[in-house]
A and B are shown apart, each in its own frame.
Chain A
Amino acid sequence: MREAKPTKPKERSLVRPLVLLAVVGVGAGILLWSKAGDAGGLGLSLPTAVQDFVTLTLSIMVEATPFVILGALVSAAIRLYVPTQRIIAFLPQRPAFRRLWISFLGMFMPVCECGNVPVARGLIFKGLSVPDSTTFLLAAPIINPVTLFATSQAFRLDSSIVWLRLAGALLIANLIGALISLHKNPILLLGKSFQETLQAQDSHGEHHHDHHHGPRWQEGIGIFRDEVSLMLKVLCLGAVIAGLTQVFVLRDVLTSLGAHPVYSILAMLALAFVVSICSNVDAFFALAYASTFTTGSIVAFLVFGPMVDIKMLAMMRTTYNTQLLAALTAIVALCSIFIGLVVNFAL
Chain B
Amino acid sequence: MRSNPKLVSLGTYLAILLFNAYALGLYANGQLTLYIHPRYVLFTAVLNAVSLLVCGAGFVLAARQPNPAGVRVSWRPSFTLVVAALVLVAAYALPARTLSSETADQRSDNLNSSEAPRLEGSPGGTLALFGADTERLTIPDWVSALNGETDPDFYEGKKVDVVGFVFHPRGAPEDVFYVSRFRVTCCAVDAQPLGIPVRSPGWKDEFEADDWVRVTGGFAESGGKVSEPVFVDPKDIQRVEQPEDPYVT
Query: Which A residues contact B (CB, under 8 angstroms)?
Result: 1-3, 5, 7-8, 11-12, 14-15, 18-19, 21-22, 25-26, 29-30, 32-34, 36-38, 40-44, 46, 48-49, 51-52, 54-63, 65-66, 69-70, 73, 153-154, 193, 196-197, 214, 218-219, 221-226, 228-230, 232-234, 236-237, 239-240, 242, 246-247, 250-252, 255-256, 275-278, 280-282, 284-285, 287-292
Quick one: which of A22, A232, A246, A281 contacts B56, CB cutoff 8 A?
A22
Does B107 count as interface, using CB distance less than 8 angstroms?
A: yes
The answer to whether A41 touches B94 (Cβ under 8 A) is yes
Quick one: which of A3, A29, A69 contacts B47, CB cutoff 8 A?
A69
Contacts of B25 in A (CB 8 A): 29-30, 33-34, 36-37
Does B190 count as interface, using CB distance less than 8 angstroms?
A: yes
Other contacts beyond A61-B91, A289-B113: 15, CB < 8 A: A2-B67, A15-B63, A30-B24, A34-B29, A40-B95, A41-B94, A48-B101, A55-B34, A55-B188, A221-B54, A224-B58, A225-B16, A233-B83, A247-B106, A284-B190
Return B194 CB to nearest CB of chain A, in Å: 10
Does B117 count as interface, using CB distance less than 8 angstroms?
A: yes
Bound form: Cα–Cα A139–B18 in Å: 33
Quick one: which of A221, A230, A233 contacts B58, CB cutoff 8 A?
A221
The answer to whether B12 touches A233 (Cβ under 8 A) is yes
The answer to whether B52 touches A66 (Cβ under 8 A) is no
Contacts of A62 in B (CB 8 A): 23, 26, 32, 35-36, 44, 187
The answer to whether B190 touches A285 (Cβ under 8 A) is yes
Contacts of A218 in B (CB 8 A): 61
The answer to whether B87 touches A19 (Cβ under 8 A) is no
Does B131 count as interface, using CB distance less than 8 angstroms?
A: no
Does B240 count as interface, using CB distance less than 8 angstroms?
A: no
Quick one: which of A65, A219, A252, A284 contacts B48, CB cutoff 8 A?
A65
Bound form: Cα–Cα A56–B116 in Å: 21
Return A34 CB to nearest CB of chain B, in Å: 6
Query: Which B residues contact A (CB, under 8 angstroms)?
Result: 9-10, 12-26, 28-29, 31-32, 34-37, 40, 43-44, 46-48, 50-52, 54-72, 78-81, 83-84, 87, 90-103, 106-110, 113-117, 119, 185-190, 192, 210
The answer to whether A54 touches B115 (Cβ under 8 A) is no
The answer to whether B17 touches A52 (Cβ under 8 A) is no
A32-B63 CB under 8 A given contacts A59-B36, A65-B23, A277-B186: no
27 pairs from A and B in contact (CB 8 Å cutoff): A5-B67, A22-B14, A33-B25, A33-B92, A54-B94, A54-B97, A58-B87, A62-B32, A62-B35, A63-B40, A65-B51, A66-B43, A66-B46, A73-B50, A214-B61, A219-B69, A224-B58, A226-B69, A226-B71, A232-B16, A237-B83, A277-B190, A278-B186, A282-B186, A285-B185, A287-B115, A290-B115
Return A175 CB to nearest CB of chain B, in Å: 29
The answer to whether A221 touches B48 (Cβ under 8 A) is no
Is chain B's binding surface mostly helix, strand, loop or mixed? helix
The answer to whether A225 touches B91 (Cβ under 8 A) is no
The answer to whether B186 touches A281 (Cβ under 8 A) is yes
The answer to whether A285 touches B186 (Cβ under 8 A) is yes
The answer to whether A288 touches B115 (Cβ under 8 A) is yes
Contacts of B18 in A (CB 8 A): 25-26, 29
Quick one: which of A5, A60, A73, A228 contacts B189, CB cutoff 8 A?
A60
The answer to whether B58 touches A284 (Cβ under 8 A) is no
Bound form: Cα–Cα A281–B183 in Å: 14
A288-B113 CB under 8 A given contacts A65-B48, A222-B61: yes
The answer to whether A288 touches B116 (Cβ under 8 A) is yes
Return B185 CB to nearest CB of chain A, in Å: 4
The answer to whether B189 touches A59 (Cβ under 8 A) is yes
Contacts of B20 in A (CB 8 A): 65
Quick one: which of B47, B70, B106, B185 contacts A251, CB cutoff 8 A?
B106
Return B41 CB to nearest CB of chain A, in Å: 10
Contacts of A285 in B (CB 8 A): 185-186, 190
The answer to whether A221 touches B29 (Cβ under 8 A) is no
The answer to whether B14 touches A21 (Cβ under 8 A) is yes
The answer to whether A26 touches B21 (Cβ under 8 A) is yes
A236-B23 CB under 8 A given contacts A22-B17, A56-B99: no
Bound form: Cα–Cα A279–B98 in Å: 23
Return B93 CB to nearest CB of chain A, in Å: 6
Max chain B CB contacts within 10 Å: which of A73, A221, A234? A221
Quick one: which of A3, A33, A255 contacts B29, CB cutoff 8 A?
A33
